[in-house]
């Protein structure tokens, strides 16, 4: 069974995405993404900093896909 819980905190502008249950041992940072890992290296929680900017980029990708479906490939 998969586990996923996502919360957006507008005050801190962070998305917290809990993808598994477990104890967090350490973190890795990749730009605006912070990955919280278990002792064995399994991802437990992903945080997206400056989330409104991330969501804006996500919307652009979604719009491009929809436009691509409407227009024939050149």
Is it the case that residue 74 has pLDDT exceeding 50?
Answer: no
Mean pLDDT to the nearest integer, 36-45: 96
Mean pLDDT, the chain, integer: 81
pLDDT band at 37 (very low <50, low <70, confident <90, very high): very high
pLDDT band at 6 (very low <50, low <70, confident <90, very high): confident
Q: What is the pLDDT of residue 52?
A: 86
- Strand, coil or helix: what is 6? strand
Give the whole-angstrom CA distance, residue 52 versus residue 9: 10
Domain extent listing, the chain: 5-70
Is it the case that residue 62 has pLDDT exceeding 60?
Answer: no
- Strand, coil or helix: what is 64? helix
């Amino acid at each position: 069974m998969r586990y996923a819980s996502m919360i957006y905190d507008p005050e801190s502008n962070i998305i917290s995405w809990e993808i598994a249950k477990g104890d967090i041992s350490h973190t890795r940072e990749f730009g605006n993404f912070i990955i919280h890992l278990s002792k064995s290296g399994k991802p437990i929680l992903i945080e997206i900093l400056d989330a409104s900017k991330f969501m804006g980029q996500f919307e652009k990708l979604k719009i491009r896909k929809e436009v691509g479906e409407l227009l024939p490939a050149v």
